[in-house]
Amino acid sequence: LGNRGCWLYHMNALAALRKVCDTWGGEAQGTITVADGRVATRTLSIVEQIGSWRGARFTYGKNMAGCTRTVLEQDVYTALYGFGAGLPFTDEEGNYKAGYRRKLTFGEVNGGLNYVADEDAKLVWGRWNADRTARVHSFGQVTFSEETDPAHLLALTRRALAEAVRPKVSYEVDVAALSGDDADLGDTVAVVDTRSEEH
């Protein structure tokens, strides 16, 4: 897919994988082999993206025979850590030290907390604690690599949290036979969700 580059820092493995796919314009393909009733190997490949966007839209009752709607709760975060630009380490005298850099946080303007949280969302989308007696926050993180102001970083993270608490939705649809001109394998299509008025 060519020579490109990206920084993978302060993120979980799934976020890193998505960033690699976005940077190289590819898709992740997983392969699992089974031997003797057990998983023998797991392989993950980044391949060239299949298909494109041709403007195909599917609406129930028109060109769609059936639809299964799945709410992806695992991608919902009720609290977000926010990180800004990388900052150099300094010694006690203010001299710069070589080595690893930490990222800007906003705890100094947020009561000592480097994250923001939505308590109402926690009651709906939070994960259960170990005793399954109460909901606790599901934490994620967001990075604004150019931001150097803690107060503005806090505002950006709050804005990102407003999106993170909304669950993503997956659709599996049955459509009429398509010609290659309408849509083909791997193409991106639009599915009109008349129940939620979201696409």
Residue of higher predicted confidence among 51 and 156: 156
The string of pLDDT tens digits covering residues 21-50 is 888 888 888 899 999 999 999 999 988 888
How far is it, in rounded angstroms, from Cα 192 to Cα 60?
8
C-alpha 99 chain-centroid distance: 29
Q: What is the pLDDT of residue 11?
A: 76
Pairing of strands 86-87, 53-59: unpaired
pLDDT at 81 over 90: yes
- Cβ-Cβ contacts under 8 Å for 86 (sequence gap 6 or more): 101, 102, 103, 104, 145
Model confidence band, residue 197 (pLDDT cutoffs 50, 70, 90): very low
Cα Rg of the chain, angstroms: 22
Model confidence band, residue 179 (pLDDT cutoffs 50, 70, 90): low
How far is it, in rounded angstroms, from Cα 195 to Cα 67?
12
Task: Name the nearest CA neighbour of 119 among 67, 79, 69.
Answer: 79
83 near 104, Cβ under 8 Å? yes
pLDDT at 178 over 80: no
pTM: 0.56
Q: What is the pLDDT of residue 38?
A: 92
Residue 121, number of CB atoms within 10 A of its CB: 22
Locate tokens 């003797």: which residue?
Answer: 36
The string of pLDDT tens digits covering residues 96-144 is 666 556 788 999 999 999 999 999 999 998 989 988 899 999 999 998 8
Q: What is the pLDDT of residue 35?
A: 94
pLDDT at 67 over 50: yes
